[in-house]
Amino acid sequence: AQKITQTQPGMFVQEKEAVTLDCTYDTSDPSYGLFWYKQPSSGEMIFLIYQGSYDQQNATEGRYSLNFQKARKSANLVISASQLGDSAMYFCAMREGQGGSYIPTFGRGTSLIVHP
Amino acid sequence: NAGVTQTPKFQVLKTGQSMTLQCAQDMNHEYMSWYRQDPGMGLRLIHYSVGAGITDQGEVPNGYNVSRSTTEDFPLRLLSAAPSQTSVYFCASSGTPNTEAFFGQGTRLTVV
């Protein structure tokens, strides 16, 4: 079974609008962390944001925020005020603690296209 | 600060050949890993290491070997290349489980 599920293969958004990229996860480990990465067409992996399972507040980094709903095992990425440069692949990842390897497992990704 | 350095960036191999993808990091990170990226499949974990002398298998380890004799280096060996190993390979490292993984620039490998 997949540990990280990203159900949106592709998303489109108008420039300056907000967009939510979905991510659900599966773990029985009480200690885990969730990451989002961006991969532009140039291929490099760019870290965006991190949320720990014990963090009480949703993580935010500039225009990126992580909508963490622990009971629903959901960790959606919200990008506010989209820019053309946000067009890229976005990957959600999870690392498990005590029962896992501490190495992130990735979802299949969502391709985001921002229209002018 | 170089971060994570992967070599080579591109490689073409013939079926049956062997080769080593190099990965080095200069951040004194304990955690290192190798992923392969195929279209529509995301990044899949091949092997990982939680410190010098310690390695373990990930999701797709068959056909690959690793070793970790130093903190800095984590080479990935393809023993006998197959067309199914055509992929983009990423090496990553992190200092702690709660911090971001830093990625190398990737190696695009084609096996013909």
Query: Is the link from the previous residue into B39 a cis peptide, with omega within 30 of 0?
Result: no
Could you give the CA distance from residue B88 to residue B78 in angstroms, rounded to a whole number? 13
Residue type, A15: E
Q: Is A65 helix (H, G, I), strand (E, B) or coil?
A: strand
- Confirm if B105 and B8 have CB atoms less than 8 A apart: no
- Listed in sequence order, the residues at least 6 apart from B89 whose beta carbon sits closer than 8 Å to its beta carbon are B6, B21, B34, B35, B36, B37, B46, B76, B106, B107, B109
| Those residues with Cβ within 8 angstroms of residue B17's Cβ, 6 or more apart along the chain or in another chain | B80, B81
B residues 43..102 contacting A (CB < 8 A): 43-45, 48, 50, 56, 58-59, 88, 90, 92, 97-102
Calculate how close chain A gets to B66, using CA atoms only, in Å. 16
* Gyration radius from chain A CA atoms: 14
Q: Hey, what amino acid is at A39? A: Q
Q: Which residues contact A115 (CB under 8 A, 6 or more apart)?
A: A12, A13, A14, A15
Tens of each residue's pLDDT in chain A, 116 residues? 679 999 999 999 999 999 999 999 999 999 999 999 999 999 999 999 999 999 999 999 999 999 999 999 999 999 999 999 999 999 999 999 765 678 999 999 999 999 99
Mutate to test the interface with B, among A21, A29, A45 (most CBs of B within 10 A): A45
The answer to whether B107 and B34 have CB atoms below 8 angstroms apart is no
Residues B11-62: tens digit of each pLDDT: 999 999 999 999 999 999 999 999 999 998 999 999 999 999 999 999 999 9
